[in-house]
Amino acid sequence: MKFSTKKKTDLKEFESEEHYRILFQNAPIGIGLADINGNLLVFNDAMTKPGGYTSQDIKALRNVAALYYDPKQRAEALARFQKQGFLNQYPVQFKRKNGTPYDTLLTLTSVLIEGNPCIQAMVEDVTERKWAEQALHVAEEKYRVMVEQIPLIMYTDQIDNLFTSFYISPQVENMLGYLPQEILDDPHLWHRLIFTGDHERTRHAMQQTIESGRAVEEYRMTRRDGTMIWVRDTSVLIRDE
């Protein structure tokens, strides 16, 4: 069977259109197209699911304004879009079918469809990410409170030449007379506070921690007032996943 040049061209155009239609419908984030007045022209399935809508529900809304939880947020997003000519992952709350809000990142792009100016929207549902971030924040705050209440110093060091600290608990002030920020601002300070005769054993403990993942060592440190105290240092290697 032979195809004419026109039929071949039509077939290629059909295949190309079908390819983009499949990509559009199966995209993991919501994609929609509206005219400059906000009237919805086309949208994919991912635009409906986070809000619990059906395609018929979205079509019945007609205008994208009905999808925003707070009209002020829409006005702010459009103002920024008009000023910049684009909008990239702007945080906006959309409205579910039941009226409750959900968090999204909104991207807007100007496009021409058959010579008519339109706006393409990409809407990424980030509700679960927000929940995860909030849960992580609560957990971090809980552990921070616990760490800062126990009667000993907790610290986290980088594995570098100085074993630079990037966290040290407030108890360091009671034990050594220095504020946590003083220790963090001067990477040499902790080393200087260790009694010179104990430097070798602390270096050995650091090396043991790196090699075996854990070490316990006792050494002397000089407080701000010049007095000397003995400390027991238990170190554990934490690896990034």
pLDDT digits (tens, 9 = 90+) for 28-78: 889 999 999 999 888 998 888 889 999 899 889 889 999 999 999 999 999
Whether residues 114 and 74 fall in one domain: yes
Q: Is 234 left (phi over 0), alpha (psi -120 to 50) or beta?
A: beta
φ, ψ of residue 72 to 5 degrees: the values are: -65, -40
State pLDDT tens for residues 162-184: 567 888 999 999 999 999 999 99
Residues 101-108, mean pLDDT to the nearest whole number: 94
Whether residues 13 and 99 fall in one domain: yes
What is the predicted pLDDT for the residue at 5?
46
Task: Give me the residue label for tokens 């790196």.
Answer: 210
Q: What CATH number is given to the structural domain containing 23?
A: 3.30.450.20
Q: Is 87 helix (H, G, I), strand (E, B) or coil?
A: strand
- Select from 98, 130, 162 the last residue of a domain: 130
Instruction: Note the pTM of the prediction, 2 decimals.
Output: 0.55
Whether residues 152 and 86 fall in one domain: no
Instruction: Quote the mean pLDDT of the chain.
Output: 86
Residues 195-205, mean pLDDT to the nearest whole number: 92
Residues 222-235, mean pLDDT to the nearest whole number: 95
